[in-house]
C-alpha cells in the first residue's frame, strides 16, 4: 500500500493511503475524517476516472461543510431538536442543521484525526482506522472506541468497510460513509443521467426539515419508486410532497431484507461510460441524496449522489425504527461494500 504525508492538523500527522483493489481500481483514503478522497475506475473502453467528489488537498477537507467522503458519527443523519433521551437522562447536542442535529455535529468523526494501521485482510492489504471518542464529545455519553477497516473484496473493483464500536456506558451509534459519487467522473456537472435502482419497497417520510416523521410509506405510486431502474433525473423535480420536502431526493429507503446479513441495497449505472456501482450492506436503511445542496464551483448543484447505509434517521424518537442504541458491553458491527464494474449498455 502506498502512503504519504499529506499535512498536519490538530498537531497530528495526516496521511494519504492508496489501496490497490485489483485490475487498476484504486481507492485513496486519508486518516483525517476517514475520508474517501478518490476512487479510480475504468469505463468500458478502459479509460480511468475518479468517480468520487473530493479535494486535492487536506485544506479542502478541513474547510468542507458537505461531509465529502468522510466517516460520519457518532450518529449519521438527523436527530430532531438536537437532543435525545437515554434512560432517565436527556442529552443536548449541537443544532447544526436548523434546530436539528446532523451527522454527529460540527466536530463529529469527519473532523478528527484517526489512528491508521496497515493490516492484512483476506484479499490484500487494508487500512484500519481507530478513534476513541471521549465521553461528552459533541454531547454524546460514554467513551466510545471505534474501528473502521477499508479492504479489497475478492473480485476486483470492490471496497469493503467494516465498522466496529464498543462503549463503556450506554450510548448511541450510527456510523456511515458520506461518499459522493459521479460515475461520469469528478468534474462532470450532473448525475441526473445516471440510472438508479433501490431494492426497497418502503421509505421513511420526512418533514420540510428533512427529518423523518415516523411514518413509513410505500414507494409504489410515488416518485421515490426505484424498484425498477430509471434515471435519477426522471422525477427529481416532481410535484410531490416528499420531493418538495427534500428539495429532490434526500430520503431513507428501507432496504429489502435489510439488517439480515449482507444484502444488495442499490445499483447505479452510467450508460455513456458503462460504469456500474452496487452497494451491499448489513444496515437496514440507505439514504439516497441527490446533491441538492452542493453549490460550489468545484462541486456544483447535483453533481454527486450519496448512498449512505445507516440506521434510520431520527430513530431515537420512534420505537418502531431499528434502534441506534449501543448498550454497555455490546459490540456494534456493520459492513458495507461499494462494488464497481462495467456493463455493456
- Per-residue pLDDT tens for 37-66? 999 999 999 999 999 999 999 999 999 999
Indicate whether this model's pTM tops 0.95.
Answer: yes
Q: Count the domains in the chain.
A: 1
How far does CA 330 lie from the centroid of its chain?
A: 23
How far is Cα 39 from Cα 28, in angstroms, rounded to an integer?
6
Q: Give the dihedral sign, CA 235/238/242/244.
A: positive
pLDDT tens for 197-209 read: 999 999 999 999 9
pLDDT at 132 over 90: yes
Section 108-126 average pLDDT = 98
How far is Cα 247 from Cα 243, in angstroms, rounded to an integer?
6
Known catalytic membership, residue 334: no
pLDDT tens for 95-107 read: 999 999 999 999 9
Known catalytic membership, residue 308: yes
The residues facing 174 across adjacent strands are 75
pLDDT tens for 224-255 read: 999 999 999 999 999 999 999 999 999 999 99
Which one of 195, 251, 308, 334 is the catalytic residue?
Answer: 308
How far is Cα 107 from Cα 110, in angstroms, rounded to an integer?
7
- Per-residue pLDDT band at 189 (split at 50, 70, 90): confident
Owning domain of residue 256? 2-342
- Per-residue pLDDT band at 188 (split at 50, 70, 90): confident
Which one of 101, 178, 251, 334 is the catalytic residue?
Answer: 178
* CA-based end-to-end distance of the chain: 34
Q: Read off the C-alpha cell for 236.
A: 427529481
Residue 344's pLDDT is 74
Question: Which ranges of the chain would DSSP assign to H, the alpha helix?
Answer: 58-63, 241-246
CATH of the domain at 334: 2.70.98.10
How far is Cα 232 from Cα 2, in angstroms, rounded to an integer?
36
Amino acid at each position: 500500500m502506498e502512503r504519504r504525508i499529506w499535512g498536519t492538523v490538530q498537531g497530528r500527522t495526516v496521511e494519504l493511503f492508496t489501496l490497490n483493489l485489483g485490475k487498476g481500481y484504486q481507492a485513496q483514503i486519508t486518516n483525517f475524517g476517514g475520508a474517501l478522497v478518490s476512487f479510480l475506475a475504468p469505463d468500458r473502453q478502459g479509460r480511468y476516472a475518479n468517480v468520487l467528489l473530493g479535494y486535492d488537498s487536506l485544506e479542502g477537507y478541513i474547510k468542507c461543510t458537505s461531509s465529502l467522503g468522510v466517516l460520519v458519527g457518532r450518529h449519521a443523519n438527523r436527530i430532531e431538536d438536537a437532543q435525545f433521551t437515554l434512560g432517565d437522562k436527556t442529552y443536548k447536542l449541537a443544532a447544526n442543521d436548523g434546530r436539528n442535529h446532523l451527522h454527529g455535529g460540527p466536530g463529529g468523526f469527519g473532523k478528527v484525526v484517526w489512528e491508521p494501521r496497515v493490516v492484512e485482510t483476506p484479499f490484500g492489504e487494508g487500512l484500519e482506522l481507530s478513534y476513541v471518542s471521549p465521553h461528552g464529545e459533541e454531547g454524546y455519553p460514554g467513551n466510545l472506541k471505534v474501528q473502521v477497516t477499508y479492504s479489497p473484496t475478492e473480485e476486483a473493483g470492490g471496497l469493503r468497510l467494516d465498522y466496529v464500536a464498543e462503549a463503556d456506558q450506554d450510548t448511541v451509534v450510527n456510523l456511515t460513509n458520506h461518499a459522493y459519487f459521479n460515475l461520469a467522473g469528478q468534474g462532470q456537472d450532473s448525475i441526473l443521467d445516471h440510472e438508479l435502482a433501490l431494492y426497497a419497497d418502503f421509505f421513511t417520510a420526512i418533514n420540510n426539515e428533512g427529518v423523518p416523521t415516523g411514518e413509513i410509506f410505500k414507494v409504489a405510486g410515488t416518485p421515490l419508486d426505484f424498484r425498477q431502474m430509471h434515471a435519477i433525473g426522471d422525477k427529481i423535480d416532481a410535484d410531490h410532497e416528499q420531493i418538495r420536502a427534500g428539495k429532490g431526493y434526500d430520503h431513507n429507503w428501507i432496504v429489502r431484507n435489510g439488517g439480515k446479513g449482507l444484502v444488495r441495497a442499490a445499483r447505479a449505472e452510467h450508460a455513456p461510460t458503462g460504469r456500474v456501482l452496487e452497494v451491499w450492506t448489513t444496515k437496514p436503511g440507505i439514504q439516497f441524496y441527490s446533491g441538492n445542496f452542493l453549490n460550489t464551483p468545484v462541486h456544483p448543484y447535483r453533481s454527486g449522489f450519496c448512498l449512505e447505509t445507516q440506521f434510520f434517521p431520527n430513530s431515537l424518537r420512534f420505537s418502531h425504527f431499528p434502534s441506534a442504541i449501543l448498550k454497555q458491553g455490546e459490540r456494534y458491527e456493520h459492513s458495507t461494500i461499494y462494488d464497481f464494474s462495467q456493463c455493456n449498455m
